[in-house]
Structure 1
Amino acid sequence: MSFLKSIKLPRYIKNKFFITALAFVIWIAFLDKTNLMYQYQFQSEVNKLEDQKEFFIKEIRQTREEQQELLSSPEKLEKFAREKYYMKKDNEDLFIISPAPQQ
């Protein structure tokens, strides 16, 4: 016990308010339900979702532009239907040529 009394500690370490504040910081940083690790994970999830939001907003804008373009003229609508959905007229034959699979 005399060994512990011989160690000189600064006054602020012996202060009860300092000890309480230190315990509070440790509790918040490591032991709490929403500690620093969870906060970091939540923030990275938020960043990922914001990036996805930007991507989908851009895709929606592009799709609306394509929709306006298709609805503006029947020729463009017919071309789109033929290319994307392989539609044909009654008196036509449709041949689909696909590239050979690469090995």
Structure 2
Amino acid sequence: MALNPNNPFQLLLRKLPRPLRNKYFLSLTVFAALMVFLDKHDLITQFKLSRSVKNLEHDKAYYEGKIQEAQVDQQNIEANKEQFAREKYHMHKSDEEVFIIQNEK
């Protein structure tokens, strides 16, 4: 390919370093830029998705703990129905008196 001194594109191309003039390097650079920034599965989207997965896993662990607590409470209620009714709803037998003492804050 003969260089035409009047063609500004060829002059600009001539000033570039040799590796930047390589067509394989250019195509690899364009491909990498497309993959990193413009693709449907780009790095930014992947980062956001991984962050949301971590948040969801944290929420899952929190709710599993709450489920365990609720199951323990349910077992305690089933085992001690009378105690639960007395403490929670202030129920009492017909022949007894119950005094509720509340501390002032």
TM-score by length of 2: 0.67
Aligned partner of 2:12 in structure 1 is 4
The CA deviation at 1:71 is 1.9
Give CA deviations for 1:17-50 in whole Å, capped at 9, x if unaligned.
2211111111111111222211111111100000
The one of 88, 92, 97 equivalent to 2:91 is 88
User: Which residue identity lines up with residue 26 of structure 1 in the other structure?
Assistant: A
Aligned partner of 2:20 in structure 1 is 13
The CA deviation at 1:16 is 1.9
**Percent of aligned pairs sharing the same letter:** 28
How many residues in Structure 1 have an aligned counterpart in Structure 2? Answer: 95
RMSD value, Cα: 2.7
Q: Which runs of 5+ in 2 are unaligned?
A: 1-7
| Rg comparison, structure with higher value | 2
TM-score by length of 1: 0.68
Q: Which runs of 5+ in 1 are unaligned?
A: none
